[in-house]
């Protein structure tokens, strides 16, 4: 199964990729070369083999119960802060000088 320039032009239109005529020709050649390189995988006998929809079989979302754990006190949280002011972290402005806020 190979692609024609007409089909590649249709794919380009569908995907909204603007291609010049010489690009369509080159892309058609490249895509057909890719198809040719993948041809050997079509020769495997897959009779009786179920399709794999996910690489990890029987994948389940593992959820745990919410457990309330004690948090940090304000002093513990501010212990590693470079600068604090009025019970808040003080950080340098990122957009210009910003003044004293």
Answering whether pTM is above 0.95, one says no
Written as six digits, the tokens of 70 are 């004690």
pLDDT of 98 reads: 58
From 40, 36, 37, 13, select the one nearest 24 (Cα to Cα).
13
Give the residue extent of every domain in the chain: 5-43
pLDDT band at 97 (very low <50, low <70, confident <90, very high): low
Q: Is 1 exposed, middle or buried (0-12, 13-18, 19+ CB in 10 A)?
A: exposed
pLDDT of 100 reads: 58
pLDDT of 53 reads: 75
pLDDT of 99 reads: 58
At residue 8, does pLDDT exceed 80? yes
Exposure string for 28-43, b = 16+ CB within 10 A, e = fewer: beeeeeeeeeeeeeee
Residues 22-77 have pLDDT tens digits of 999 999 999 999 999 999 998 999 899 888 777 776 777 888 899 999 999 988 99
């Amino acid at each position: 199964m190979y692609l024609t320039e007409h089909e590649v032009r249709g794919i380009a239109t569908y995907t909204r990729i603007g291609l010049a005529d010489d690009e369509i020709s080159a892309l058609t050649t490249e895509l057909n070369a890719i198809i040719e390189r993948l041809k050997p995988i079509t020769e495997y006998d897959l009779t009786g083999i179920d399709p794999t929809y996910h690489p990890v079989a029987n994948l389940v979302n593992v959820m745990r119960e919410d457990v309330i754990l004690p948090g940090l006190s304000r002093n513990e949280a501010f212990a590693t802060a470079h600068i604090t002011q009025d019970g808040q972290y003080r950080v340098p402005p990122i957009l210009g000088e910003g003044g004293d806020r």
